[in-house]
Amino acid sequence: MYALNKVDKHFPGVHALKAVDFQVGRGEIVGLVGENGAGKSTLMKIIYGAYQPDGGSITIDGTTMRFQNPRQAMNHGIGMVFQEQSLITNLTVMENIFLGYEQQFVKFGIVDWRAMAKAARHQLTKVKLDVDPAAVTSQLSFAQRQLVELAKVLTLEERIDGDLVILLDEPTSVLAKEEVELLFQLVRDLAKRASFIFVSHRIDEVLELSDRIYVMKDGAVVDVVTRDEADVDDIQHKMVGREIDKEYYREQKQAPYAADAPLIRFDNVSVDNRYRDISFDLHRGEVLCLVGTEGSGREAILRTIFGLETPTSGAVTIKGEQVTRFTAMAGVARGVGYVPRERKVEGIVNGMNVFENMTLSQLNKYSDLGVLRVGDEKEMAKDWVDRLAIKTPDIRKDCGGLSGGNQQKVVLAKWRSGGSDIILLDHPTRGLDIGAKEDVYEMVREMNDAGVGIVLVADTLEEAIGLSHTIIVIKDGEFQKRFDGTPGAKPSLYDLVHHMI
């Protein structure tokens, strides 16, 4: 019924989807699994109309379609239930359900609330949710909101002719076990009215619900299995199976770390609703990688080290001193440098030039009584531009105009020049091309040689394995397993995935 034929999608430097074939039959529940970065979300965005494919075609019942935006896709029966819930919490349930389609209830410019409530109640019975349509959405539980979202998508049933395809993006991630059961039951019932595409990183759930499962890796569909022949181990292997190139991650340069006096010691540290009872040591010259799925708590641990989150229990010791003040300022003073994932938001200041960005965290080192020594700043910046081979025509150039890789180097230079010896890297290679990635890996090894300890949240599992001395796997905020990453004894992707999901 619904089909993608050889769909291709390119982004600058990335071939995100490679000739993907994808079909959904009437009343079918199709599963979609893959690692982070495998192309799941790009595929979903093409399906619900947020992206347009560069090549290939989309057909519904054999007719070729081209959607310019999600609204057009919706008008052809394709609805999306978002992972990050898309309801506006200060509006009522019924307003949310009919957001953008209120016109049907308007007479002479006045909204007939009673008619809207009635229609909303009709939608809510489809998802077996018994709430007052006039209730404000923020009063509902997460699970209830999920169902409202589903009800909102199901309004398509009345609005359009033809079949419905509903995308569910990680719908279970915020639900409790029994709520998941209810949702699955509901989806099975609704399969009479609509087809579903179910995206999740929990393979057991996908297996339980789906009739057929698409496995994606590196932007391509590597396998399609039916429920009867599916096997969890087999799917996991297909999701990750790949030989690791040792050269690429500079494994030959991986030297043992100094096992004495740790830089950071986490002793049963917890932050409410983020992670519980995490313990580890970070040593000089070590790369410690936190591995887990999105939302597993790895970012929160980085933020705690830097001082942006305050632990609710447990002790954090940095360089032998127990930390009592959790602020970014104190973190910087302790020698912690944070290279965030969102370079544009948290990494570099757009509009400030290269040397201004580098000295931002250490202005008191480059000033006397508040008056800047711009000459010294420039000298330092020139030095680091050479050392890290930052490609910029001039240190006066606006950082916003540099390439992603060079921006990343500026951020690293900022911390390294300031003498930080604990560096937190959050997805340091996200959005970089291959050459720039290799530059980052090279810098990681150089920093290790200089006695810097690094806590890494890697962009891919290969990267985590290739770079790390130590890997800690976290799932749902809890410690799962510690792996040793000495070259030659590195864990396999499969070992990690097994504990992650």
Site of interaction with other proteins (CB under 8 A):
306, 308, 328-329, 331-333, 338, 340, 345-353, 356, 359-361, 363-364, 366-367, 370-372, 374, 396, 414
- Cβ closest to other proteins, residue 367 vs residue 492: 367
How far, in Å, are 71, 76, 154, 168, 206 from residue 195 at the CA level?
A: 19, 13, 11, 11, 15
Q: Which of 71, 86, 166 is nearest to 126 (CA)?
A: 166
Find all residues with CB under 8 Å of 202, minimum gap 6, and list them.
172, 501
- Rounded to whole angstroms, how far apart are CA atoms 167 and 36? 18
* Minimum distance, C-beta of residue 396 to other proteins, in the bound complex (Å): 7
- Cβ closest to other proteins, residue 215 vs residue 395: 395
* Minimum distance, C-beta of residue 83 to other proteins, in the bound complex (Å): 21
Q: Side chain identity at 351, as an amino acid letter?
A: G
- Rounded to whole angstroms, how far apart are CA atoms 455 and 444? 11
* Minimum distance, C-beta of residue 349 to other proteins, in the bound complex (Å): 4
- Report the run of H or E that residue 380 belongs to, with start and end: helix 374-387
- Cβ closest to other proteins, residue 306 vs residue 441: 306
- Cβ closest to other proteins, residue 119 vs residue 271: 271
Q: Which of 478, 86, 422, 492 is nearest to 261 (CA)?
A: 422
Find all residues with CB under 8 Å of 33, minimum gap 6, and list them.
40, 199, 200, 201, 203, 206, 213, 214, 215, 216, 235, 239
Q: Side chain identity at 454, as an amino acid letter?
A: I
In angstroms, how far is the first alpha carbon of the chain from the final one?
A: 32
Q: Which of 215, 219, 211 is nearest to 232 (CA)?
A: 215
- Cβ closest to other proteins, residue 201 vs residue 274: 274
* Minimum distance, C-beta of residue 360 to other proteins, in the bound complex (Å): 5
* E-assigned strand segments in 227-293: 264-271, 275-282, 287-291
* Minimum distance, C-beta of residue 285 to other proteins, in the bound complex (Å): 24
- Cβ closest to other proteins, residue 226 vs residue 350: 350
The 3-state DSSP class for residue 381 equals helix
Q: Are 80 and 103 in contact (CB under 8 A)?
A: no
The 3-state DSSP class for residue 158 equals helix
Map tokens 């709520």 to a residue.
Answer: 179
* Minimum distance, C-beta of residue 89 to other proteins, in the bound complex (Å): 17
- Rounded to whole angstroms, how far apart are CA atoms 168 and 435? 36
* Minimum distance, C-beta of residue 342 to other proteins, in the bound complex (Å): 9
- Rounded to whole angstroms, how far apart are CA atoms 497 and 491? 11
* Joined tokens for residue 301: 């641990």
Q: Are 314 and 270 in contact (CB under 8 A)?
A: yes
- Cβ closest to other proteins, residue 311 vs residue 331: 331
- Cβ closest to other proteins, residue 172 vs residue 357: 357
Q: Side chain identity at 390, as an amino acid letter?
A: I
- Cβ closest to other proteins, residue 60 vs residue 360: 360
* Minimum distance, C-beta of residue 379 to other proteins, in the bound complex (Å): 16
- Cβ closest to other proteins, residue 162 vs residue 401: 401
* Minimum distance, C-beta of residue 328 to other proteins, in the bound complex (Å): 5
* Minimum distance, C-beta of residue 309 to other proteins, in the bound complex (Å): 12
